[in-house]
Structure 1
Amino acid sequence: MSNLTRWNPVREFDDLMNRYNRMFGSNLASEREGKDLFSRSDWAPAVDIKETAEAFTIDAELPGMSKDDVKVTVHDGVLTIEGERKHEEESTDKKQHRIERFYGSFMRRFTLPENVDENSVKANFKDGLLTLTLLKAEPKEPKAIEVDVQ
């Protein structure tokens, strides 16, 4: 059995821009405009989504963040993970040579399958890893509606 990886041109372009920013050093743009060259105002944490017979599990990497920096909501079948990683305070006695980590706000949204119990979402945050567990619901039986024909 082979695993297929779906090509995502947007992700490939995003990776290219990240490498470009690192290679040419975004310090030039930071000095001119106060922000990174081709900067993004947001970033997206990496996630793993796994499924068992009983539940779905979403692991989101959020290094350097605390649970107070993250908000998880479920509304109309959409799970949203959002938050902000704040840049550490700059001091005059420190010289920064390279900054590759992304800072700022982020938002990830996932459309939940119909067999997920939206009220069962459990969250755990430990060592920069947010783990969400979503229990599966019993499949809804189709309702038969009797139509009165006149």
Structure 2
Amino acid sequence: MSTLINVPKNGGLTRTNTDRSSTLPTLSSWIEDIFNRDLPSVFSQNFNTGMSLPKVNIKETADAYFVEMAVPGLKKSDFQIDLDNQILSIATEVEEENETKEQNYTRREFGYSSFKRSFTLPETVDDGKIKANYNEGILSIHLPKKEEAKQKPPRNIKIS
């Protein structure tokens, strides 16, 4: 008698008995089969499948950090940007309601979407000079460095 391990769609392991000598299933095999079946997709899926976090590009230069986030279809008033204890949080919450009235019916659709991204800023950021801009679907945040943290250009030291 050999035992094979099958990996079903939901990622769990089940055992399959390849011994063909018994044709009737036993009570224990029925119970095992019930618990090892593929779970309904609602249990094996991520509940946030319809939502995704926007992609972020972070770039450092000698003078500043730049955060860019692609979030098309929003208005600048949809964003809330907060700084609390060196943690920069970018959030949005949008509710939509569309209603179409035709001769014989009324169709109403509701929509809700939100996200929040948080970043721990280095202590070198001058938090009093942070600026944000939203243009053509791109949220840009300029995080200037403190004067003492800015990279100085290399210089030649003469030997005396």
* The one of 56, 65, 69 aligned to 2:65: 56
Aligned position for 1:11: none
Picking from 61, 64, 80, the partner of 1:71 is 80
The answer to which structure, 1 or 2, has the higher relative contact order (CA under 8 A, 6+ apart) is: 1
Aligned to 2:37: none
Counterpart of 1:117?
126
* Higher percent of residues as helix: 1
Deviation by residue 1:37-62 (Cα, 9 ceiling, x = unmatched): 74328542111000110000000111
Distance 1:44 1:129 in 2: 14
Residue from 47, 54, 60 that aligns with 1:45: 54
- CA contact 1:47–1:60 (8 Å) conserved in 2: yes
CA offsets 1:55-78 (integer angstroms, 9 cap, x no match): 000001111100010011111000
Question: Counting strand residues as a fraction of each chain, which structure ranks higher?
Answer: 2
Q: Distance in 1 between matches of 2:135 and 2:79?
A: 12
The alignment partner of 1:114 has SS state of: coil
Q: CA deviation at 1:122?
A: 0.4
Q: Percent identity?
A: 37
User: TM-score normalised to the size of structure 2?
Assistant: 0.53
Q: 3-state SS of the aligned residue for 1:133?
A: strand
Counterpart for residue 140 of structure 2? 131
Structure 1: gaps spanning 5 or more residues: 1-28, 30-36, 94-101, 141-150
**Aligned CA-pair RMSD:** 2.9
Q: How does 1:1-150 map to 2 (within 5 A)?
A: 38-40=46-48, 43-87=52-96, 89=98, 91=100, 104-139=113-148
Work out the CA distance in 2 between the residues paired with 1:89 and 1:125: 25
Deviation at 1:119, TM superposition (A): 1.1
CA distance in 1, matches of 2:56, 2:113: 18
Rg larger in 1 or in 2?
Answer: 2
Which ranges of structure 2 fall in alignment gaps of 5 or more residues? 1-40, 103-110, 150-160
